[in-house]
Chains A and B, each alone.
Chain A
């Protein structure tokens, strides 16, 4: 063996070891700082992880884009949903007086809120855009109370990392990390464009997550669960979206 090839062999070996060690360290750090999305497996996992990690490193604290009142869409589009469930129709019949939002999981004081309870919390309005993964969008004024305030009421435990939220409609649930859950623009929304939130747009209660695509803004919210891991929710991919083939993180 010539000295050059031996040197190459040693250099190559050192480089490979350093590479593997570097990757392992990077993976460990990424896990520790919450840069790995729940749907990181499979052929698209690398791309998803890069996207989510880049967004978490660079845009975590950015406020959502807000628009002047003059830009509110005159004809917003209410995307179609599955026909309302019997449970929804029953509550609708009672004017949503008995609608409850239960908050549980890793919280100090699990609680249940009526719409009146939520309205008694500080309400804000934001003019933000709904952008659908299909390509269309509209701007509306959304009136509600930040999810962060409700989470503050119940006392989130320090090990909490994700917030899972459920629609009254079957198999419709999503989750976001604490960065998006506690973001001041993440709203439990009850009003739209100065009035009540119409049923077509998610009334009586929709979670608006304006820094992510429309499908993260689940309509007809009845339950919020705080957790440190998404492994035991559904198939462990984070939410219903990845189970249906769509990315969990939709801030893209």
Chain B
């Protein structure tokens, strides 16, 4: 116990570094999983809501009498929507809308806790802001190449990757936290008649109510794309070790020791 404690006090260069502190802090772990639950609920219910009107428009107004920007080629849960299908899906809007807004509250409140924590503890600056030397096309390319090369060689992930994020990850996480989530919340609020009554600029700036709805749909699509890539990368890096790190906070110990032994 004592050697490890002293290692914290003065990070050694030659001495065997032990893992000190969790890979992910308790706040990061709890807010991560709350966001997972809320986001999945938002995704499923959002899809259900779209089914009641799978047509998208640009500008302030749009309905079955106006020309859509595009349509999703699926049947609708309303027989008033001309879909080309001779079939009306069951109406799931009631509970979907209730759950969508409840999950939105969970996501927003969780996000606020995470945001305050991240600023307070400098989590964003130290863990997510790309390291200075890597903020270049070359840096991004090296990170991409490194991860994929290791994957195709079936080599275990780099010890550094298990304990820190590379520049591509950092950029993706920052984009999700500071661009996509704020945008999806904003476009969601811009569809609320009472909120836009109080803050009309929130919808005017987006080009209108239907534009807000269309942007909301595309940003949700980007978040879904992030989710797919994120889970794929986790699977490539070792699904259970990464899951353990995000659940218990402990990073995989074995590769770190293995790598250190190689060096010695």
Contact = CB atoms under 8 A, between A and B. Distances in A.
Interface of A: 43-44, 46-48, 50-51, 55, 58-59, 62-65, 67, 71, 73, 75-77, 79-80, 129, 131-139, 210-213, 244-247, 250-252
B261 to A, nearest CB: 39
A44 B193 contact: no
A62 B201 CA distance: 13
User: What's the interface size class on B, roughly?
Assistant: 35 or more
A245 B61 contact: no
A46 B24 CA distance: 30
Nearest to B77: A134
A88 B261 CA distance: 87
Contact of A137 (B52, B61, B103, B192): B61
7 contacts: A48-B102, A67-B60, A131-B193, A137-B209, A211-B197, A245-B94, A251-B194
Interface of B: 49-50, 52-53, 55, 60-66, 78-80, 93-95, 97-99, 101-105, 191-198, 200, 203, 209-210, 213
Contact of B53 (A58, A59, A134, A250): A134
A59 B198 contact: yes
Contacts of A244: 94
A76 to B, nearest CB: 7
Contacts of B60: 67, 71, 129, 137, 139
Contacts of A133: 52, 93, 97
Contacts of A59: 194-195, 197-198
Contacts of A75: 63, 65-66
B52 A134 contact: yes
Given A50-B105, A134-B53, A44 B197 contact: no
Contact of B193 (A71, A76, A247, A252): A252
Nearest to B92: A245
A138 B93 CA distance: 20
A241 B74 CA distance: 27
Contacts of A58: 198
Given A48-B98, A77-B65, A247-B98, A213 B195 contact: no
Given A77-B63, A135-B50, A246-B97, A64 B197 contact: yes
B254 to A, nearest CB: 34
Contacts of B65: 73, 75-77, 138
A245 B97 CA distance: 9
A222 B234 CA distance: 60
User: A-side binding surface: helix, strand, loop or mixed?
Assistant: loop
Contact of B98 (A44, A135, A136, A137): A44
B50 A51 contact: no
Top 4 A-B pairs, shortest CB-CB distance: A47-B102, A245-B94, A251-B194, A75-B65
Contact of B101 (A47, A76, A135): A47
Contacts of B61: 71, 73, 129, 137-139
A47 B64 contact: no
B173 to A, nearest CB: 27
A246 B66 CA distance: 27
Contacts of B210: 137
A80 B80 contact: yes
A206 B78 CA distance: 23
A55 B194 contact: yes
A63 B60 CA distance: 18
A218 to B, nearest CB: 16
Contacts of A139: 60-61
Nearest to A214: B193
A41 to B, nearest CB: 12
A197 to B, nearest CB: 18
Nearest to B68: A136
Contacts of A44: 95, 98-99, 102
A136 B63 contact: yes
Given A77-B63, A79-B80, A245-B94, A135 B52 contact: yes
Pick the most buried of A44, A138, A213: most chain B CB atoms within 10 A of its CB: A44
Contacts of B80: 77, 79-80
B225 to A, nearest CB: 22
Nearest to A55: B194
A55 B195 contact: yes
B102 A65 contact: no
B204 to A, nearest CB: 9
A177 B102 CA distance: 21
Nearest to B109: A50
A65 B210 CA distance: 15
Nearest to A210: B193
A232 B78 CA distance: 32
B78 A251 contact: no
